[in-house]
């Protein structure tokens, strides 16, 4: 027997991450409650730019994804990796840098989003300096994590570690490629991709943020903490291996299902659908594996709130991963896309799966980290029931709202006219459901408050001496040392015989075991698995011209329109308005000609949107006089009675700064947008002239005077330009491949 | 330039080969996983439970075991 080494786990860092989870969980949920209230009751926008829906919604989504779920992942990873590797974290300083870097990043992110600094790419809204900072923090995490694995005292890497590895490498790849952008200044950059390509890269990222932030690491937590809490090993380890590899091979392909019937080439969308449907079996394999781990322990589930949270969390994983493939089927998606159905779907995942798994882990971990007992089991049980009720109160009305609105959008009179031609009718019908959602969300947060109280009291009774837990384990033998055991003495090291013996021993122990013992090889294989899908979908769309046919009549924006577009992005208009009309009669009747791929070639980034809380704007240009837009921005209800849109009255007062016009155009030329030297040189003057012209027209239509140096004219200029180019010249240069929808 | 080269190179066959390789690799992983003995996996599945068993030869910790 080898002499055991004694070492201490770093529990202080785990405690920090656990508290950060709770802090950001509360902030993210409160932001969610606020935006839910804004949808039910528009005055909650308070006419305060920082609190309008368009700016606050990304604070909610990013706060929950990276603040709440991100921190529970790190809590679990730092706690379980040390134990699974029987080693302290690689480096305490890196651990601290990771912790503080992440928290400061989220805080800076929340503030910058409220200030209107955004790229408008969903769940990747943060501007480039923060993107760079996040990359640095992630690298610190990766070094710390892989360093720990390298120093492990347990040869085999338990399945939870593989899920963590997949997360670390995939998130890095996704984040870097989706965030590639050219900076204009410290707070503004433009995506290097445009239109169709940007949409594809964004939703390749967006869907895999769901896969590799909200799913795989939480599965890692499930495979560690569920067996711990149930005090029995996972139901089938073999199934967990299949679960892992199938998810990693398939998940990465699914992104294009977010773009069905859009201007994305049909082949990419079909691949996305096929792979999304294929995701069902592995996901359910994982759910079954989790639930069956509790077999014979259901009596404990009755007693133990931790297991209650896990049982329902895993069940929600199963439900979400059933609903996801269903929604990815094109015919279902034709109804569900742009509606609240998607919102309900994602919330069944975040509230049910992420939230409840996080609560289970916290209730299990906090007493252990503070070396005490949980203050109150009955409070935790109450949290469970209130949280479950809150989810019902959230999900049922929002599912209903989504399907109701989707059906209303496509309803026709027998005469062939739209049954609800006025978009706002379809909004007013679902506002009552928005109120019920506010109630459901408030209940869920009430549960969270119980957790905070319970954790605070638990910590209050915690041990005074919180020194790190001591552990001991024999050191790991070197890889070759272990394998030469039993090698006959006459076989010399470093000969072919020796190598052959090593190889045969490795294979004899099983292919996968050899793999598990080799983190580097394992990681490389994981990267390969996720790369194949990414490359097959993305490279042809970027490199093959026929996938995005150009339209001769589509021209770049004028400098003022470009400025207006920046305001549109900054205010988060895309959070409520799509700019992508699908080729359905119900949509072309309502909005006009369906959107073509070539129309958004100069859109860095694309603005197709994902939800229609308000109507699509792809053909808004020249639909109304300038004054209509001014009045509408000042008070949306003056032009659209019943509208739930926030007021943007400050745009009529805020000064228009056109000083960067030339720089913007020059940057655009680097992204292959064709502006001439003369246009770049005269950009500011041209912008002013157009602003004067629009202001004059507003005045002549009976509107307010003196708007030529206000932001509103830039926004009006942009809105009046959206989607008009193809109307101007009927001679489209559309090759046959574009006709595949 | 890059686009023209890529377009005329007829690369679609590579995507198909890549997909087939991916699938074959996957099948191989599945086959190997399914052919291992149950006892071997039972041992691995106990890894997370080991750090609470003080008598276990693999190592021990001093943690409270009950909530």
CA geometry: angle at A459 spanning A456 and A465, to 5°?
A: 160
Mean pLDDT value of segment A493-497: 57
By Cβ distance, the residue of A510, A535, A546 closest to B32 is A510
Q: Across the interface, do A470 and B61 touch by the CB < 8 Å criterion?
A: yes
Enter the tokens of residue B47. Answer: 């890894």
Report the pLDDT value the prediction gives residue B58, as an integer from 0 to 100: 36
**% of chain A surpassing 90 pLDDT:** 82
For B18-64, write each residue's pLDDT tens digit.
778 878 888 888 888 888 888 888 888 998 887 654 333 333 333 44
Report the pLDDT value the prediction gives residue A91, as an integer from 0 to 100: 96
Left (φ > 0), alpha (ψ -120 to 50) or beta: where does A416 sit? left
Phi and psi at A415, nearest 5°, equal: -75, -10
The full 3-state SS of A165-217, as one line of letters, equals: HHHHHHHHHHHHHHCCEEEEECCEEEECCCHHHHHHHHHHHHHHHHHHCCCHH
| Alpha carbon distances (Å) from A360 to A226, A235, A607 | 9, 19, 38
SS3 call for A611: strand
Distance separating alpha carbons of residues B26 and A240, to the nearest angstrom: 15
Model confidence at A733: pLDDT above 50: no
Model confidence at A491: pLDDT above 60: no
DSSP state of A571: T
Q: Are A561 and A718 in contact (CB under 8 A)?
A: yes
Which chain B residue shows the shortest CA-CA distance from A293?
B45
Report the pLDDT value the prediction gives residue A392, as an integer from 0 to 100: 97
| C-alpha distance from B17 to closest chain A C-alpha (Å) | 11
For A265-302, write each residue's pLDDT tens digit.
999 999 999 999 999 999 999 999 999 999 988 999 99
Closest CA to A159 of B51, B44, B60, B38: B44
DSSP state of A470: E
Mean pLDDT of chain A: 92
Report the pLDDT value the prediction gives residue A122, as an integer from 0 to 100: 95
Q: Are A62 and A119 in contact (CB under 8 A)?
A: no
Residue A663's pLDDT band, with cuts at 50, 70 and 90, is very high
Q: Across the interface, do B30 and A245 touch by the CB < 8 Å criterion?
A: yes
- CATH architecture of the region A5-460: Up-down Bundle (1.20)
| C-alpha distance from B58 to closest chain A C-alpha (Å) | 6
Distance separating alpha carbons of residues A367 and A375, to the nearest angstrom: 8
Enter the tokens of residue A244. Answer: 């892992």
Name every residue whose Cβ is closer than 8 Å to that of residue A124 and which is 6 or more positions away in sequence: A131, A175, A178, A179, A202, A205, A206, A209
Mean pLDDT value of segment A581-593: 96
By Cβ distance, the residue of A154, A471, A540 closest to B47 is A154
| C-alpha distance from B39 to closest chain A C-alpha (Å) | 11
For A139-157, write each residue's pLDDT tens digit.
999 999 999 999 999 888 9
For A336-365, write each residue's pLDDT tens digit.
999 999 999 999 999 999 999 999 999 999
Cis geometry, peptide bond prior to residue A605 (ω within 30 degrees of 0) = yes
Round to the nearest angstrom and report the end-to-end CA distance of chain B: 65
Report the pLDDT value the prediction gives residue B3, as an integer from 0 to 100: 63
Domain spans, chain A: 5-460, 559-740
Q: Across the interface, do B33 and A160 touch by the CB < 8 Å criterion?
A: no
SS3 call for B61: strand
SS3 call for A472: strand
| Alpha carbon distances (Å) from A277 to A138, A250, A522 | 31, 10, 26
SS3 call for A471: strand
Q: Across the interface, do A241 and B33 touch by the CB < 8 Å criterion?
A: yes
Q: Which residues of B touch A (CB under 8 A)?
A: 2-3, 6-7, 12, 15, 18-19, 22, 26, 29-30, 32-34, 36, 38, 40-42, 44-49, 51-52, 57-64, 66-67
For A84-105, write each residue's pLDDT tens digit.
999 999 999 999 999 999 999 9
Chain B residues near residue A363 by CB distance under 8 angstroms: 67
Name every residue whose Cβ is closer than 8 Å to that of residue B46 and which is 6 or more positions away in sequence: A233
Q: What is the ipTM of this complex?
A: 0.71
Q: Across the interface, do A86 and B63 touch by the CB < 8 Å criterion?
A: no
Burial class of A678 by CB neighbour count within 10 A (0 to 12, 13 to 18, 19+): exposed
Residue B67's pLDDT band, with cuts at 50, 70 and 90, is very low
- CATH architecture of the region A559-740: Orthogonal Bundle (1.10)
Distance separating alpha carbons of residues A347 and A152, to the nearest angstrom: 37
Any idea which residue has 């606020």 for tokens?
A: A34
Mean pLDDT value of segment A529-539: 75
Any idea which residue has 């860092």 for tokens?
A: A13
Note the pTM of the prediction, 2 decimals: 0.90
The full 3-state SS of A352-392, as one line of letters, equals: HHHHHHHHHHHHHHHHHHCCCCCCCHHHHHHHHHHHHHHHH
Q: Are B31 and A211 in contact (CB under 8 A)?
A: no
By Cβ distance, the residue of A364, A511, A546 closest to B67 is A364
Name every residue whose Cβ is closer than 8 Å to that of residue A741 and which is 6 or more positions away in sequence: A261, A266, A583, A594
């Amino acid at each position: 027997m080898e002499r055991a080494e004694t070492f201490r786990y770093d529990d202080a860092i785990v405690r920090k991450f656990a508290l950060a989870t709770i802090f950001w969980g509360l902030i993210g949920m409160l932001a969610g409650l606020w935006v839910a209230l804004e949808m039910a009751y528009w005055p909650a926008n308070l006419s305060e730019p920082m609190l309008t829906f368009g700016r606050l919604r990304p604070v909610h989504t990013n706060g929950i994804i990276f603040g709440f779920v991100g921190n529970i992942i790190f809590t679990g990873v730092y706690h379980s990796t040390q134990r699974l590797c029987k080693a302290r974290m690689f480096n305490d300083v890196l651990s601290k840098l990771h912790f503080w870097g992440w928290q400061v990043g989220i805080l800076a992110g929340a503030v910058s989003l409220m200030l209107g600094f955004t790229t408008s790419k969903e769940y990747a809204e943060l501007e480039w300096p923060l993107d760079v900072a996040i990359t640095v923090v992630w690298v610190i995490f990766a070094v710390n994590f892989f360093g720990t694995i390298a120093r492990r005292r347990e040869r085999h890497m338990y399945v939870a570690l593989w899920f963590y590895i997949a997360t670390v490498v995939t998130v890095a790849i996704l984040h870097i490629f989706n965030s590639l952008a050219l900076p204009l200044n410290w707070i503004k950059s433009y995506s290097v991709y445009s239109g169709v390509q940007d949409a594809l890269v964004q939703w390749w990222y967006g869907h895999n943020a769901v896969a590799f932030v909200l799913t795989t690491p939480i599965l890692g937590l499930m495979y560690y903490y569920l067996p711990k809490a149930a005090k029995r090993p996972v139901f089938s380890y073999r199934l967990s291996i299949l679960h892992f590899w199938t998810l990693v091979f398939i998940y990465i392909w699914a992104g294009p299902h977010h773009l069905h019937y859009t201007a994305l080439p049909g082949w990419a969308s079909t691949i996305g659908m096929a792979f999304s449907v294929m995701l069902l079996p592995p996901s359910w394999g994982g759910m079954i594996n989790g639930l069956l781990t509790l077999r014979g322990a259901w009596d404990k589930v009755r007693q133990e709130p931790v297991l209650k949270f896990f049982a329902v969390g895993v069940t929600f994983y199963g439900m979400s991963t059933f609903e996801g493939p269903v929604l990815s089927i094109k015919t279902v998606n034709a109804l569900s896309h742009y509606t609240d159905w998607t919102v309900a779907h994602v919330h069944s995942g975040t509230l049910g799966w992420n939230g409840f798994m996080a609560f289970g882990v916290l209730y299990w971990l906090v007493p252990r980290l503070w070396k005490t007992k949980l203050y109150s089991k009955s409070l935790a049980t109450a949290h469970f029931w209130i949280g479950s009720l809150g989810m019902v109160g959230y999900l049922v009305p929002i599912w209903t709202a989504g399907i109701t609105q989707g059906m209303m959008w496509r309803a026709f009179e027998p005469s062939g006219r739209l049954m609800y031609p006025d978009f706002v009718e379809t909004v007013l019908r679902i506002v009552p459901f928005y109120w019920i959602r506010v109630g459901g969300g408030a209940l869920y947060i009430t549960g969270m408050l119980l957790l905070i109280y319970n954790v605070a009291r638990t910590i209050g009774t915690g041990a005074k001496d919180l020194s790190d837990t001591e552990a001991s384990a024999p050191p790991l033998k070197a890889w070759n040392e272990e394998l030469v055991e039993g090698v006959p003495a006459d076989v010399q090291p470093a000969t072919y015989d020796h190598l052959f013996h090593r190889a045969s021993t490795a294979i004899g122990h099983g292919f996968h075991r050899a793999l598990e013992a080799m983190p580097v090889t394992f990681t490389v294989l994981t990267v390969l698995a996720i790369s194949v899908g990414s490359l097959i979908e993305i490279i042809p769309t970027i490199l093959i011209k026929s996938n995005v046919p150009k339209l001769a009549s589509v021209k770049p924006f004028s400098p003022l329109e470009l400025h207006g577009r920046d305001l549109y992005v900054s205010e988060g208009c895309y959070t409520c308005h799509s700019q992508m009309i699908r080729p359905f009669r119900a949509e072309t009747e309502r909005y006009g000609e369906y959107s073509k791929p070539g129309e958004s070639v100069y859109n860095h980034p694309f603005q197709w949107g994902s939800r229609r809380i308000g109507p699509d704007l792809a053909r808004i240009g020249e639909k109304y006089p300038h004054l209509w837009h001014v009045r509408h921005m000042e008070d949306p209800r003056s032009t659209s009675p019943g509208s739930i849109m926030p007021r943007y009255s400050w745009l009529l007062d805020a000064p228009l700064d056109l000083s960067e016009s030339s720089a913007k155009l020059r940057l655009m030329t680097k992204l292959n947008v064709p502006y001439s030297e003369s246009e770049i040189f005269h950009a500011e003057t041209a912008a002013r002239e157009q602003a004067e012209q629009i202001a004059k027209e507003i005045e002549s239509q009976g509107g307010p005077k003196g708007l030529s140096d206000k932001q509103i004219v830039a926004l009006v200029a942009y809105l009046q330009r959206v989607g008009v180019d193809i109307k101007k010249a009927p001679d489209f240069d559309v090759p046959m491949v574009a006709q595949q929808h | 330039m890059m686009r023209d080269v890529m377009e005329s190179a007829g690369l679609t066959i590579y995507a198909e080969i890549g997909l087939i390789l991916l699938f074959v690799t996957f099948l191989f992983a599945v086959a190997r996983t399914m052919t291992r003995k149950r006892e071997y996996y039972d041992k691995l599945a106990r890894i997370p439970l080991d750090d609470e068993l003080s008598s276990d030869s693999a190592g021990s910790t001093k943690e409270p075991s009950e909530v």
